[in-house]
Amino acid sequence: MPALRPIPPRAPEPAGLEARAFDHLRYIRATMERAAAFTAVPGWGTVGIGASALAAAAVAARRRSPAAWLATWLIEAAIAIAIAGFTMWAKARASGVPLVSGPFRRFAFSFSMPLLAGAILTFGAFFRFAAVGPLPGLWLLLYGVAVVCGGVFSVRIVPVMGLCFMALGAATLLAPAAWGNALLALGFGGLHIAFGLLIARRYGG
């Protein structure tokens, strides 16, 4: 009968192997997030923003004072933010993807900085210089910059929309001041509706 040999003890796993594996997984996940595009840009929400902008332009055209005109468009900006936020959340939920993700954070940060600059210029122009004439062109131009910057992290059509807003903003700055409200309707109303329909058709929702 052969002699029984003791089973040699199992060699311990290298220290830190599990930690390194988790580090690799985190790196892979971060790389995939950086490569991913923010796809929750809402097509129908963009159409809704355009429709509300047309209504705001109609109301603002009847305002007699610059303060009332400005207040109308500031209210419209708040409505547009609410529409965008809700419809982005709804599209992300319907797609089964988290809204607050790496692509969203990069999109939101890049999008918000030009808008912050626009807000500062708006209040500076109005409260210090009592001027509203340059505002339509500045709004359209800086909004276009925001869309282009955020669109780098989104689908291809979004930066194209931003370039159209920038071109219209530049034209508005050169146009007579009396055309400002109508050009805001063309930009925030017409461009939003046109591109919103394209986004809804090509990318869903």
For the segment 123-181, what is each residue's pLDDT rounded down to a tens digit? 998 888 888 999 999 999 999 999 999 988 888 899 999 999 999 999 999 999 999 99
Could you read off the pLDDT of 34-77 as tens digits, one per residue? 445 566 788 899 999 999 999 999 999 999 899 999 999 999 99
Nearest to 64 by CA among 139, 129, 132: 132
HSE-CB at 57 with a 13 A cutoff on CA atoms is 19
Strands of 65-134 (E only): list them: none
Q: In the structure encoding, which two tokens stand for residue 30, read together?
A: 């971060």
Q: Residue 12 burial (CB < 10 Å; 0-12/13-18/19+)?
A: exposed
Domain spans, the chain:
41-203
pLDDT of 187: 98
pLDDT of 189: 97
pTM: 0.79
Nearest to 111 by CA among 149, 144, 161: 149
Distance CA(121)–CA(36), nearest Å, equals 33
Per-residue pLDDT at 30 exceeds 50? no
Per-residue pLDDT at 103 exceeds 60? yes
For range 87-116, the mean pLDDT: 84
User: Could you tell me what percentage of the chain is helix, strand and coil, using 3-state DSSP and rounding each to the nearest 5?
Assistant: 75, 0, 20
